[in-house]
A = this chain, B = another copy of it.
Amino acid sequence: MQTEKLPRREREKLRQRQEMLAAAFDLFSQKGYHNVSMHEIAVKAEFAIGTLYRFFDNKEDLYKALVLEQCDKFEDAVARAIGDGDDEVEKLRNYVRTKGERFRGNLPFVRLFLAESRGASFNIKAGLDEELRKRYYAFLERLALIFDSGIKNKRFKNVTDPYHLAVALDSVVDAFLLLWLDAPERHPYPEDPDTILDIFLKGLVDP
């Protein structure tokens, strides 16, 4: 973003917005949507509450903006990782590694999504906002393309639908990360991405 090119007023506005989002981010990720008040956010962001409402229509709106912004960043990083790499296996390795790094290096981000889930959640990406869901599906398609290309190259055997493989890989990465989050020593996230990847590459039974 070329914020430097914007008029001073616009830049200032953007900066304020970022400060509000930052304050909200901290609070929401620590306490969950329902346990944070607009008053609290305003105090933390050092703005009057009315100013908050000049930038966001309501609490829901603020939350959505926050989530989308965070997802943007995350997605960009992961998408870049998918792009990098000479062959399909390399690309998948980059994906597993990058997602792991990003996730573990940005715990508040993760908590933003988990903080609200009271007690338990069996889900992945369910209850997603329409917008977020669309993005997630688009991402899965991109991941599926790698498997597809690998199959077309004969680098991979044609055992299952590439989309299914994408769903599976992504969910397994999530699962390992969440185990790690819960008990890092008990469930260390594998430094070597092949630890996860091999589950898909090597079969359990011979053909």
A contacts, CB < 8 Å to B = 33-34, 63-64, 67, 71, 110, 113-129, 132-133, 147, 150, 155-157, 159-160, 164-165, 167-168, 170-172, 174-176, 178-179, 181-182, 195-196, 198-207
Do the beta carbons of A110 and B122 come within 8 Å of each other?
A: yes
Do the beta carbons of A123 and B179 come within 8 Å of each other?
A: no
A193 to chain B, nearest CB (A): 13
A159 to chain B, nearest CB (A): 4
Query: What are 8 A-B pairs at a CB distance below 8 A?
Result: A113-B122, A113-B123, A116-B116, A116-B127, A119-B128, A119-B132, A120-B125, A122-B124
- Given B117, B181, B200, which contacts A121 in the complex, CB threshold below 8 Å? B117
- Given B128, B147, B150, B174, which contacts A124 in the complex, CB threshold below 8 Å? B174
- For residue A117, which residues in chain B have a CB less than 8 angstroms away from its CB? 113, 116-117, 121, 123, 126-127
Do the beta carbons of A120 and B67 come within 8 Å of each other?
A: yes
Do the beta carbons of A126 and B176 come within 8 Å of each other?
A: no
Give CA–CA (A124, B38) in the complex, Å.
Answer: 29
Give CA–CA (A67, B120) in the complex, Å.
Answer: 8
Do the beta carbons of A167 and B172 come within 8 Å of each other?
A: yes
- For residue A67, which residues in chain B have a CB less than 8 angstroms away from its CB? 119-120
- For residue A64, which residues in chain B have a CB less than 8 angstroms away from its CB? 119
Q: What is the oligomeric copy number?
A: 4
Do the beta carbons of B125 and A121 come within 8 Å of each other?
A: yes
- For residue A133, which residues in chain B have a CB less than 8 angstroms away from its CB? 182
- For residue A126, which residues in chain B have a CB less than 8 angstroms away from its CB? 110, 114, 117, 121, 178, 181-182
- For residue A196, which residues in chain B have a CB less than 8 angstroms away from its CB? 164, 168
Q: A117-B127, A159-B198 are in contact. List 4 more A-B contacts (CB 8 A).
A: A33-B118, A110-B126, A167-B175, A199-B200
Give CA–CA (A128, B204) in the complex, Å.
Answer: 31
